[in-house]
Amino acid sequence: MTGATTGADDGAGSRAPAGPRRLQRRVVRTLVAGQVLGGLGNGATLSLGALLLAEVSGSTAWSGMAATTATLGAAVLAVPLARLAQARGRRVSLSTGGLLAVAGGAVVVTAAVTSALALLLLGLLLMGSGQALTLQARFAATDLAAPASRGRDLSLVVWSTTVGAVAGPNLFEPGEGLGRSLGLPPLTGGFVVSATAQAVGALVYLVGLRPDPLLTATARARARAAGAPGDVVVPRRAAGGLAVLRRTPAARRAVATLALGHAVMVALMAMTPVHLTEHGSSLAVVGLTISLHVAGMYALSPVVGALTDRVGARAVVLAGQGLLAAALLLSLVAADAHGAVTVALVLLGLGWSAATVAGSTLVTAAVGPQDRPRLQGVSDALMSLTGAAGGAVAGPVLALVGFDGLAGVLLVLVAAVVLLQRGGAAPRPRETAAATA
C-alpha cells in the first residue's frame, strides 16, 4: 500500500470525535448555503441561455447549444478547479469557480448588447464553472466526514442544490424587470441575478470554509502518518487523476459507475419530451413528467445518503442500477403509454440519485486525501462529458430505433455497471482504516 491509502471502504467506519464533528457540521452548512446560491444561478440561466442564443443567432437551431456549451464548460473546468483545490484548498477552488461563473454572466450580457454569437458561447462556457463547482462541492462535504457519515453529508449538499434550481426559473420575470431598470437588452436580467447569486456564493465559500476542509484533512493525514505504526506509510506527492485511475481498480470502478449512470439518465431524459410530444402529449404533461423526474433525482438524496452509510455504497449503487433497469424496461415495454413513461422517468431519477450519491462516496473512499481532489476532478470531467455524449447520441438512436429501442440500448450500460461492481474485491480492513485519514 502506498501513501495514506490506495484502498477503498464501502461506507462503514467509526464516528469522528466531537471537535471534528463540529467542524464538519460547519463545513456542511457552508456548502449547503453556497449550493443554494449556486443552484439559484444555474437555474435562472439554463432556459434563458437557450432563448438568448436563438435571439442572437436568429435561429432556434442554436438553442440546444446553451446546455451543451455549459456542460462542456463544466467538463473543461473540472480538472483545473480540482488542481487548484489540491494546491490551495476547497475554499479557494470553490470561490474561484463562483467568480468564473460571475465573469461568464458578464460576458453573456456583453454578448447580448453587442449581438456577438461567439462571445455569447464563451460566456455560457465560463458559466459552466457553476456546474463544475456544484459537482466539486459534494466531494468537499466528504473531506472531513467520518466514513460512517460520508454518504449523509454528501447527499445533503446534493439535495440543497435543488432549492436554488427550483426557485431560479421563477426569477425570470423579476430579472427582466431588473434588466429593464439597468437599460439592458431583453432576456439578460436573469443573468444579472445569476451572477449576483454566484458572487454571494463565492463570498460564502471564501468566508465560511475556514479552516479549509481539504487542507485540514491532508494535514491530519500527514500528522497521523508521521507517528503511525508501520502499516501506514508517509504520504507521497499527489499523483494526477489519470495516473490514479490507471493504478487503482477501485477508482476506475467508481468513476465508471458515475459516468455511465449519468449517461443513461441524460440520454433517456433528454429524449422524453420529444417522444411524448410526438405521441400527442401536451406541454403541461411534458413539464409535469420532467418535474417529477427532477424530484426523483434530488428529493430523496438524504435518504439515499443514509442508506449508503448504513448498508454500504456498493449495495446502494447496485440498487440504483436496479431502479435504472426498471425505468428502462418500463420504457421498453410501454413506450406508448404516457403514464408509464412518467413512472419510468421517476424511477430514472431515483436510480440516478442512488448511483450518484453512492458512486461519489466510492470515489472518495478509493484513495487517500492527497489524491482525492485530482481523482474527483477527472471523475467530474468524465461525468459531464459522458452526459453530453449521451444527450448527443440519444437523438440519432431515437430516430433509428425509437424510444423503446433507445431504452434497450441503454440497458447495456446498466449491465456494464453491475458487472463492474460485482467484479470488484471487497475492501480490506487496513485499507478502510487508512482511507479515513
Report the distance separating Cα 122 and Cα 128, nearest Å.
Answer: 10
Among candidates 241, 195, 256, which has minimal Cα distance to 85? 241
Q: Do domains 18-226 and 241-435 have the same CATH topology?
A: yes
Joined grid coordinates for residue 13: 467506519
- What is the C-alpha to C-alpha distance for residues 113 and 48, in angstroms, rounded to an integer? 15
What architecture is domain 241-435? Up-down Bundle (1.20)
**Is 23 strand, coil or helix?**
helix
Q: Are 43 and 135 in contact (CB under 8 A)?
A: no
Top pLDDT among 433 and 87 is at: 87
* pLDDT (average), residues 51-74: 78
Mean pLDDT calculated for residue range 358-384: 87
**Fold observed for domain 18-226:** Growth Hormone; Chain: A; (1.20.1250)
- Taking Cα atoms as reference points, which of 431, 344, 71, 375 lies closest to residue 242? 375
More confident residue, 370 or 332: 332
Beta-carbon contacts of 156 under 8 Å, excluding residues fewer than 6 positions away, are 28, 32, 141, 301, 302, 305
- Rounded to an integer, what distance in angstroms lies between the CA atom of residue 157 and that of residue 164? 12
What are the residue ranges spanned by the domains of the chain? Answer: 18-226, 241-435
- Cell 429524449 locates to 271
pLDDT at residue 131 above 90?
no
| pLDDT tens string 175-213 | 778 888 888 888 788 888 888 989 999 999 999 999 999
- Tens-digit pLDDT profile for residues 242-288: 788 888 899 999 999 999 999 999 888 878 877 887 877 776 777 77
pLDDT of residue 116: 93
User: For the whole model, what pTM was predicted?
Assistant: 0.77
